[in-house]
Each structure stands twice: as structure tokens, then as C-alpha cells.
Amino acid sequence: MQNIAVCVSGGGTNLQAIIDAIEQGTIKDTRIALVVSNKKEAYALERARKAGIEAKYVSPKDYEDLDDFGWEMSQIFFEHKIDLVVLAGYLVIIPHSLVMNYAGKIINIHPS
């Protein structure tokens, strides 16, 4: 079973599509272990909670610099045993430290 973290900034329509695909068996052997948003009021956090998924607010604005934010995100992902990070409408620059810790394990869903 693969644990994924989904990072979001808004309503979470892509998150909902992932939740639905897992529930319907389209995406197999995968569970969303964590949803993280940089926006405290993002509806995606509510979507996650309604689906029984842990939801967490973590903002880069709360850190001295982007690298500190990246290390904190990495630590959170390590604690949740995250195998794959999915950026689903996540409107944050991804810090180098996070990219290095999850090299080859980050995918971005782009709305274009």
C-alpha cells in the first residue's frame, strides 16, 4: 500500500477526483495519508476531513525562509511515511530541501 500526501491551496476538486478514484478502485494499492494546505480556510481541508483523511494547515509564511518550510514539510511527510507527494492545485514554490528529500516522488497536477 502506497501512502500519498496531497498538497492543495483551494477547493480541492483534484483532491476529490483522487479520493473518488481510490474509492472506485481506479487507483489501486494507494491511500491518502495526509492532505496539506497553505490556506487555513481552503475547502480542500474540509473535503479531506469528510473523507476521514488527516488534514493539516502548514504555511510558508510561518517560517523564516522557504528552506525551513521545506524541512518542516519533509519532516511531516517522513512522520506520515509518505511515498508520493501529489501537488494538486498547490500554489506554493516547492523548496529545494523538499525536492531533494522527495526526489522522483513528487508529481504536479496542472490545471491547463
Looking at the annotation, which residues are catalytic? 110
The string of DSSP codes covering 59-108 is: -GGGSSSHHHHHHHHHHHHHHTT-SEEEEES--SPPPHHHHHHTTT-EEE
Task: For the chain, count helices (H), then strands (E).
Answer: 4, 5
Question: Are 4 and 53 contacting, i.e. CB atoms less than 8 angstroms apart?
Answer: no
